Structure 1
């Protein structure tokens, strides 16, 4: 008898042994095991008694839910940060609650403050699961997939790049599903090290318009920029941007064709801070581009000063699997401050600006601006 067969046989005999009701039945089972396996009687008894009888199903003790007094404050902080997951919310929960309390949005008692400090990430996730997010979930369709290519190298930033100023750049279409005529685009830029990001709406994607928008955003960047990484679109791979990169001593690289992961950081921001905000409607009028830029002016402040993000800090390949670990979620401004790339005056200015802003009020303003995009003023007037 093979070892596997013997184990299966003994498992069956153990069940019979524990189910036996009389001494006679136990004796008969022992005799059979001795005969089949050739065991000594005492050893056969030990083998059959290894398995314990099935324990009765335990009833879970119902414990009173903790941190109920802190739930209203948690809900307000969750709303102020645009309903992030527990992993992003937990590290900034107490600081943001104190920030909202300073603006009169919540009231923090000692008991609530202690609860916010003690609540674990797992418990926070369970509490958030009982508060459905009013933020709509959209299914994101797959996007549709010459010049100077020999002079602009194909490259990607290292995942553990440590020098702030490495920007990824991309365009997002707002054509409503039809490529006919001229329509708006959103130029999106993000630093892969700090997570600082900016957006600018354009009518069309001419090389000159894209070049000017990139130049304006880099000029407003809070610290020096050294790298520029784009896809292979003609709006980026052209003489205008190539000359600009050379004049400003920027390392200009491009992605591999049809490899969107080469621009993963900006693609992620395109989803979170463009598609989930303005959706897939068509914007093709100058006044709509102005509306988008008013929205982005507030959104950039909200995202960079308050929204916590997680950054990959380590990854190890284990065979076919890659194990990744992330740091604690923090707003991009905090990552900039810890890198010490701002002058003392700029540092004080940004900290004072964040202290003066109410993130919940910013969230309300963004909701109003988004509603204005979905329902243009002239549409509302014509309905009266």
Structure 2
């Protein structure tokens, strides 16, 4: 019988008996050996040896370590990429890939990147322009960092005039021509809304992504109105509409009367519906919070520095930072609805493509872009941020610690009811 079995069958039989053989007594092992010998035709010594080997735990198969993929781009290109990324304000890979040529041209024009110096060369430039968005993000992973602080909302509903203002919803379409702006205020309050602190009025064009920002001492009507007047005067095209949330700093007779005098269409979002103002909410994050941080600014010096910072940030975002705009909806392979976006473009390019400017205005915008030095913008921005942080860091952290201590003391004083 044993000779009729294949070697594979014998191995399977051995494996079947091996576990019981390892746990059995001496007498039981003898009986199992007799059965294996009878079935396989092996000698008793051979059967014993095979059962003992099969009962031993087999070492787990270790897959050889995957050989890392070779770098497609040179170390010099990586170092220059990190520098360009820092000078751009930390753009994501998708936007940096779209604006790479514009940034390299500007940096070369102002002598910040010179072939043969600081690892930069014609070959390195070709590598940078050939990088995909995913590759840029992968190569920049070690250089990225996050801000640990978070902010608070200071929007308070206004009891005035709300019923007389048109409500704009998230799904409402925007005019094709530039000029309709969403606006909001951002509180530089640190960890508490108590007391007086600076506010930044932030506006962005829905069609082009053009941004303009101005800080005020507080959110009093006259201060917010002055900020809006300054912002509208700085926009290089006509402002035709303004959309705000329901905060009392915007929904008041002063602001609405001013808008009416300038023939600016005025709308508001639905209460407690941030998606109605998704565009400006995103700008609040990666413009005001990203560059102004989450410190508490409540001194005249801080206000002055903020209003020196925002023109630099606005120039960087308007002339060198691409944006994407939704174009419609489609259905993916699984039948799910997905949003479609156009190719990334800078706000100034979107404005030039819109055809709403005269030839003189277009020439002025192009000349201004050529005069801007991204590296100088980065240096001045960093200097102002350092000064702002120096003024507010210790005070904000002390205030945060005091609030945490007060919360802990309150929690200790709470009496808990014993379970019956």
**Partner residue in 2 for 1:105:** 112
**Partner residue in 2 for 1:140:** 150
Cα distance in 1, alignment partners of residues 7 and 303 from structure 2:
83
**Partner residue in 2 for 1:268:** 282
**Partner residue in 1 for 2:84:** 77
**Partner residue in 2 for 1:326:** 341
1:359 to 365, 374, 379: 374
- Cα RMSD for the two superposed structures: 2.8
**Partner residue in 2 for 1:29:** none
**Partner residue in 1 for 2:329:** 315
**Partner residue in 2 for 1:64:** 70
* Maintained 8 Å contact 1:173/1:186: yes
CA deviations 1:177-215 (Å, max 9, x no partner) are 333332211111110111101111111111122122212
Of 238-247 and 159-168, the range deviating more from structure 2 = 159-168
Q: SS of the residue aligned with 1:138?
A: coil
When residues 124 and 207 of structure 1 are mapped into structure 2, their CA distance, relative to the original with a 3 A threshold, is same
Q: TM-score if structure 2 supplies the norm length?
A: 0.71
**1:210 has 2:216 as partner:** no
* Maintained 8 Å contact 1:190/1:196: yes
When residues 263 and 124 of structure 1 are mapped into structure 2, their CA distance, relative to the original with a 3 A threshold, is same
**1:372 has 2:372 as partner:** no
Deviation, structure 1 residue 289 = 1.2
**Partner residue in 2 for 1:200:** 214
Deviation, structure 1 residue 153 = 1.4
Q: TM-score if structure 1 supplies the norm length?
A: 0.77
2:103 to 96, 100, 120: 96
Cα distance in 2, alignment partners of residues 310 and 366 from structure 1:
25
1:300 to 289, 314, 317: 314
**Partner residue in 2 for 1:114:** 126
When residues 144 and 102 of structure 1 are mapped into structure 2, their CA distance, relative to the original with a 3 A threshold, is closer
Aligned residues: 328
**Partner residue in 2 for 1:348:** 363
**Partner residue in 2 for 1:153:** 166
Q: SS of the residue aligned with 1:313?
A: strand
Of 201-210 and 309-318, the range deviating more from structure 2 = 309-318
* Maintained 8 Å contact 2:324/2:343: yes
Question: Could you list the runs of 5+ residues in structure 1 that have no partner in the other structure?
Answer: 1-19, 27-55, 380-384
